[in-house]
Amino acid sequence: MDDLRRVSTATNPDSEAYGFTPDRPVTTIAIPAPPTRPEKPEGLSVVGKSLPKVDAYVKVTGSLKYADDIVLARTVFGRMVRSPHAHARIERVNVERARALPGVVAVVTGDEIPVLYGHLPSSPDETALAIDKVRYVGEPVVAVIAEDELTAEEALELVEVEYEPLDSVMSIEDGLRDDLNKIHEDSRKRANIHKEVHLEFGPVAEGFAGADRIFEDEYFFDGNTHAPLEQHSVLANCELDGKITIWSSTQNPHYLHRVMASVLGMPASRLRIVACPVGGGFGAKTDVFNHEVVAAYASRKLGRPVKFTLTREEVFYAHRGRHPVLMKLRTGVLRDGTITAVKLDTWLDGGAFSSYGVASTYYTGALLPVTYKIPAFTFNGVRVFTNKPPCGPKRGHGTPQPRFAFECQLDKIADELGLDAAEYRRRIAVEPYSTTANQLRITSCGLDQCIEAVNTRGGYSAKHGKLPYGKGIGIAASAYITGAGMPIYRNAMPHSGAIVKVDRSGGVTVFCGVSDCGQGSTHMLATVVAEALGVDIMDVQVFMADTDLTPVDLGSYSSRVTFMAGNAARYAAESVREKLAAVAGPKLGIPPERCGFARRRVFDRDDPGHGLPLLEVFQLAEAHYGTLAGVGSYTPPEGIKGDFKGAGVGPSPAYTYSACVAEVDVDAETGEVRVERIVLAHDCGRALNPAVVEGQIEGSVYMALGEILMERSEYRGDLHKYPNLLEYKTLMSVDMPVIETIIIETDDIEGPYGAKEVGQGALLPVIPAVANAVADAVGVRINANPLTPWAVLKALEEKRTASKAGHASGAASREGAELP
Amino acid sequence: MQPGKRVLHLKVNGEAVDVLTETRKTLLEVLREDLNLTGTKHGCELGECGTCTVLVDGEPVLSCLMLGAEAEGSEILSVEGMARGSEPHPLQQAFVATGAAQCGYCIPGMLLTAKALLEHNPHPSREDIREALSGNLCRCTGYTKIIDAVEMAARAETP
């Protein structure tokens, strides 16, 4: 408990924005001592129970208000003219006819809101509406606001924009060409390169020199999108006093608040962001969007509420989804499989803007050494701009791609060295309480238990290589961050804050700036606070994600919510509990520290029958101290990052671990892959609510299966081939395999009640486990996703051709994926 | 009456409603915009995702593909009408108990599709449930706990 408090009050002077060099180097990575006993606070009454979520009823009655459900009198509605060209200069814009249409109240053009913004302060390159040129099909150019949506839609047709088309840049290979137009003309980088990263850790040359075998393979991970079912929506209302309130389907109200203040040129104190419950995020709603800025601007101009809700097609253009990544992976191993060195080169297709791209680029390398012992590691990452909707963070941000490559290659290494792939992975797994080659601090780590658990339950070692042709089993493992250790902009303030108020009614209220996109943040806050104060979970009211009401939290990204907001809320509740104990102790005739809190009672821990109703204690404390409230804040500990440029991406207060066994049935005639069974183990530290943890794992498995089997952002020429939910294939209820989840608890010493993340990490091993199972089923390794029937048939055909020609079967790679 | 408008006579969630609406409006828009029943959600407005499902005379219908005018005289059930007074419908209860709602956005459509299934087939197999829900997309749950919930509700309804 004392240790946790120290963490909570620590400030982090080295917080840096991505890509900035810190003022002074941090030289040592401090590894805390392993706990002598697991951190298990006694008498847990809420934590660990699969209670229904506190916000479950409003979700089954339809009464929960998502952004588009909010209605204000006199609201006007906006729509945007979008570019039909992937890359073109804007020659002329004429909005007079649109403006003249009855019912149209405003037309907004790019030059009215010229301030550049970007999610990362180091790379602002977007404007609310295009100025001078357009960079992808679907980029907003002009906004029309009208009395109703239909009129706005009609007015779009009356806006005249003349373009001069330019050569488009549609692939990684194009992005590296010097003879094509620059998408961002003021960039000083070569060709259309956005970001280049070169890092080296440990004795790489010696590692490869000392290897018995070196494996070198190329992989391609295609892009895909989040496709949340809720279309992005925003409502902005400027009152006559100039204060603007913005209700948005955003995962990150705090960053939206900052960017909006700067783009609109007004103090943030005159802007209120309310992040509505998000109808599916997965990273889709982490960025600042054109329609959000235009709505606020237009509302200020008109003095009326302005609403924008994207169409499904527009959601595909808003994107910020998975980067397509081309990878070249070189691994040196000893005869027994011990890794001596790894070299990873990645090329990311970033789309037209930076978005989170600098972080995405680093993430394709940063977490590779967190899973297995890699003594020497070199990583080169290049992100290029292309004329496609911008890529950004999707569940797993930048790490599913290299994890796919690495786990597929590891499977090949095990095969060729004659090792059992499950036991091999256990042997090279990182140790708890260790550091990685790239100076990351690992604390609790259940990787070994995860692999053992899925192998035992899934029967990998018993079945692999022994199933009939067409049936296969595969295994893979992975690691993920529990929250980014550094904020997106340089500052020394907390990453999360919470206020807990209790009063004479017996009710408890939590205020915290974090948003809920369905992962259960609301319930998590109620759980942590109910546990700390001993109230029933339904006694807790949660107010979230409102910049006027709630302390700052950085947002729902990087799997940071449970760990950071959970700790902040816990500290806030514990500070109230101290006051409660101070009045209850004398009343019970015991020292305050002997007071236990559970089931709406305060009691003597040494004699639990001797106690008081909690309500009475609340009233005694309110009489004694006056109004009762506590604050808590969380800042990640110091000394968790290295001292090199780029060390800001990868550090996390804790890492989670996962392992997966997949069983597949491959029809060699049609190429169809059916996943029959998934066994997934995830080390979440401690399951605050096991049902919620299971739900996150099941959702991760579902999303991962989409990425390996069917989901893909595909282009025909300059056009997105299918910006709709009919042809953008996702798994339906009938496509889902049996999912068996295993929760591994390692009681992280810094996590709230030992908890770590679960929302993203569990997705990572599923993708390569399925690919490895397909290799087991039909004997071909396909080094690119998705494993569509066409890809499988092509690989089988190549194998037949190769064996007829007398060659060994080679890896199939993406068509035209020539490495630069 | 203004051109392009008409009065619809509907029975919505058990109550007779006369609503003045634009003839071009879909049933989804009539429910959300004219009757403020925003529990019915939209995910594509093209009939692709199943999110806007409501029951029209007991049958699941994609309200984004039906004009309000086509529903004239019909009985509409939206998620707001599922509870029996202050008692949640067994399906609602089961969705709460299993944790079937993550972001919750697809849930109204899922509930109504499931309700229609249970009315036709009170003892569905797991396969029947998967089949019945196959037109309703969910991006959060992997469908597992939603299917669990429908099974649980079916058991609860069986004496």
pLDDT in tens, A694-719: 999 999 999 999 999 999 999 999 99
Give me the residues paired with residue A217 across strands. Answer: A329
Q: Is the pLDDT of residue A808 over 80?
A: no
Domain match, B16 and B59 both: yes
- Cβ contact B141–A695 (<8 Å): yes
Average pLDDT for residues A759-773, to the nearest whole number?
A: 98
Pair (B102, B77) in one structural domain? no
Nearest CA in chain B to A728: B48
The torsion of the CA quartet A423, A427, A432, A433, rounded to 10 degrees, works out to -170
Task: Look at A31-40, A161-170, A616-625 and tell me which has the smallest mean pLDDT.
Answer: A31-40
> Can you give the pLDDT at residue A28?
61
Q: What is the pLDDT of residues A109-154, one digit of tens each?
A: 999 999 999 988 888 999 999 999 999 999 999 999 999 999 999 9
Residue of B29, B92, B139 to mutate for A, most A C-beta atoms under 10 A: B139
Residue that finishes a domain, picked among B39, B61, B81: B81
* pLDDT at residue A219 is higher than 80: yes
pLDDT digits (tens, 9 = 90+) for A612-624: 999 999 999 999 9
Q: What angle do CA A41, A44, A48 make, to 5 degrees?
A: 110
Quick one: DSSP state of residue A620?
H
Give how far A618 is from chain B: nearest CA, Å.
31
Q: What is the pLDDT averaged over residues A263-269? A: 98
Q: Do residues B75 and B106 both lie within one domain?
A: no
Give a three-class secondary structure readout of chain B.
CCCCEEEEEEEECCEEEEEEEECCCEHHHHHHHHCCCCCCCCCCCCCCCCCCEEEECCEEEECCCCEHHHHCCCEEECHHHCCECCECCHHHHHHHHHCCCCCCCCHHHHHHHHHHHHHHCCCCCHHHHHHHCCCCCCCCCCCHHHHHHHHHHHHHHCC
Average pLDDT on A798-814 reads: 67
- Residue A4 has a pLDDT of 32
Q: Give me the domains of chain A, ranges plus CATH numbers.
A: 56-63+494-634 (3.30.365.10), 67-166+232-309 (3.90.1170.50)
Across the interface, of A517, A731, A733, the residue whose CB is closest to B133 is A733
Whether the per-residue pLDDT at A232 is higher than 80: the answer is yes
Whether a cis peptide bond, with omega within 30° of 0, leads into A786 is yes
Using a CB cutoff of 8 Å and minimum separation of 24, what contacts does A502-505 make? A502/A533, A502/A576, A502/A580, A502/A618, A502/A621, A502/A628, A502/A629, A503/A618, A503/A622, A503/A627, A503/A628, A504/A615, A504/A618, A504/A619, A504/A622
CB proximity B139 to A under 8 Å: yes
Interface probe, candidates B144, B145, B152, chain A, greatest A C-beta count within 10 A: B144
Q: Note the pLDDT of residue A61.
A: 97
**Chain B residues touching residue A307 (CB < 8 angstroms):** none
CB atoms B43 and A312 under 8 Å: yes
Angle at A714 (CA atoms; ends A710, A717), nearest 5 degrees: 155
CB contacts under 8 A, B 60-119 vs A, are 78-80, 82-83, 88, 92, 95-99, 101-108, 111
Cβ contact, residue pair A230, B138, below 8 Å: no
Express each pLDDT in A664-688 by its tens digit: 999 999 999 999 999 999 999 999 9
Indicate if B103 and B46 belong to the same structural domain.
no
User: Is residue B21 less than 8 Å (CB to CB) from chain A?
Assistant: no
pLDDT for res A119: 83
- The verdict on B13 and B77 lying in the same domain is yes
Contacts of A119 (CB under 8 A, 6+ apart): A255, A259, A286, A287, A288, A354, A355, A356, A392, A488
Considering the domain architecture, whether residues B25 and B75 belong to the same structural domain is answered as yes
Instruction: Residue B9: give its domain's CATH number.
Output: 3.10.20.30
pLDDT in tens, A451-508: 999 999 999 999 999 999 999 999 999 999 999 999 999 999 999 999 999 999 999 9
Chain B residues whose beta carbon lies within 8 Å of the beta carbon of residue A725: 43-44, 46, 48-49, 137
Mean pLDDT value across residues A617-639: 97
The answer on pLDDT for A26 being more than 70 is no
Mean pLDDT over residues A720-736, rounded? 97
Q: A518: which chain B residues are within 8 Å (Cβ-Cβ)?
A: 102-105, 140
Q: Does B138 touch chain A (CB under 8 A)?
A: yes
Mutate to test the interface with A, among B105, B113, B125, B151 (most CBs of A within 10 A): B105
**Residue-level pLDDT at A806:** 66
> How many Å separate Cα B79 from the centre of its chain?
6
β-sheet with A595-598: strand ranges across: A595-598, A601-604, A607-613
Over residues A233-248, the mean pLDDT reads: 98
Task: Give the C-alpha distances (Å, rounded to integers) separating B2 from A398, A511, B34, B68, B72.
Answer: 55, 48, 16, 17, 19
Are A780 and A795 in contact by the 8 Å Cβ rule? The answer is yes
Whether the per-residue pLDDT at A11 is higher than 60: the answer is no
A539-566: average pLDDT: 98
Instruction: State how far the alpha carbon of B67 is from the alpha carbons of B30, B46, B58, B60, B71, in Å.
Output: 9, 13, 17, 15, 7
Instruction: Give pLDDT, residue A122.
Output: 81
Cα A781 off chain centre by: 28
Burial label for A512, CB within 10 Å (0-12, 13-18, 19+), is buried
- Tell whether the model's pLDDT for residue A630 goes beyond 70: yes
Residues B105 and B73 in one domain: no
Q: With contact defined as beta carbons under 8 Å apart, do A364 and A402 qualify? A: yes
Which range has the worst mean pLDDT, A111-125, A342-356, A511-525, B111-125?
Answer: A111-125
- Same-domain status, B74 and B101: no
Same domain, B102 and B141: yes
For residue B103, give the CATH number of its domain.
Answer: 1.10.150.120
pLDDT at position A100, please? Answer: 98
pTM above 0.80, yes or no: yes
Q: Are residues B127 and B72 in the same domain?
A: no
**Total tally of structural domains belonging to chain B:** 2
Closest alpha carbon to A61 in B13, B6, B18: B13
Single-letter code of the amino acid located at A634? Y
Residue A38: the pLDDT is: 41
Closest to A329 (Cα-Cα) out of A416, A220, A426: A220
pLDDT tens digit sequence for A96-109: 999 999 999 999 99
Please list, residue by residue across A808-819, b when 16 or more beta carbons sit within 10 angstroms of its beta carbon and e when fewer do: ebebbbbeeeee
User: What pLDDT does residue A562 have?
Assistant: 98
Choose from A57, A58, A59 for mutation: most chain B CBs within 10 A: A59
Instruction: Identify the helix (H) or strand (E) that includes residue A460.
Output: helix A460-463
Minimum-distance CB partner of B83 among A50, A61, A694:
A61
Contact A580, A618 (CB under 8 A): yes
Tell me the pLDDT tens digit for each residue of A380-415. 999 999 999 999 999 999 999 999 999 999 999 999
Percentage of residues in chain A having pLDDT higher than 70:
93
Task: For residue A225, give the chain B residue with the closest CA.
Answer: B139
Q: Considering only CB atoms, which chain B residues are within 8 Å of A311?
A: 45
Question: What is the average per-residue pLDDT within A752-776?
Answer: 98
Q: Which of A56, A731, A732 sits opposite B101 (nearest CB)?
A: A56
* Residues B64 and B99 both lie in one domain: no
Q: Do B99 and B71 fall within a single domain?
A: no
CB contact under 8 A, B140 and A726: no
Strands A213-221 and A244-248 turn out to be unpaired
Who among A59, A691, A698 is closest to B104 (CB)? A59
Count other C-beta atoms under 10 Å from residue A541's C-beta: 14
Output the pLDDT for position A315. Answer: 98
Residue-averaged pLDDT of chain A: 93
Residue A810's pLDDT is: 43
Smallest Cα distance from A811 to chain B, Å: 31
Task: Say if residue A443's pLDDT is above 70.
Answer: yes
Q: What are the residues whose beta carbons fall under 8 Å from the beta carbon of A314, sequence distance 6 or more?
A: A80, A82, A138, A231, A232
- Of the three residues B44, B62, B81, the one that is the final residue of a domain is B81
Instruction: Tell me the mean pLDDT in the region A194-199.
Output: 97
Whether the CB-CB separation of A103 and A78 falls below 8 Å is answered with no
Residues of B in contact with A149 (CB under 8 A): none
pLDDT averaged over consecutive 10-residue blocks of chain B (159 residues)? Answer: 88 98 97 98 96 98 98 98 95 98 98 98 97 98 98 82
Least confident of A371-380, A467-476, A621-630, A804-813: A804-813
Q: Residue A2 pLDDT more than 60?
A: no
Of A757, A760, A767, the residue nearest A660 (C-alpha): A767
Q: How far is B92 from chain A (nearest CA, A)?
A: 6
Last residue of a domain, one of B81, B102, B133: B81
Short-list A481, A495, A434, CA closest to A32: A434
User: Which residue segment(s) compose the domain that B13 sits in?
Assistant: 5-81
Q: List CB contacts (< 8 A) between B32 and chain A.
A: 69
Distance, CA of A152 to CA of A446 (rounded, Å): 55
How far is residue A89's CA from residue A511's CA, in Å, rounded to a whole number?
Answer: 47
Rg of chain A's alpha carbons, rounded to an integer? Answer: 27
B116 Cβ neighbours under 8 A, 6+ residues apart: B55, B58, B59, B60, B132
Q: Report in angstroms the alpha-carbon separations of B58 from A473, B48, B54, B70, B122.
A: 44, 21, 9, 15, 15
pLDDT in the model for residue A814: 44
**Phi and psi angles of residue A92, each rounded to the nearest 5 degrees, phi first:** -155, 140
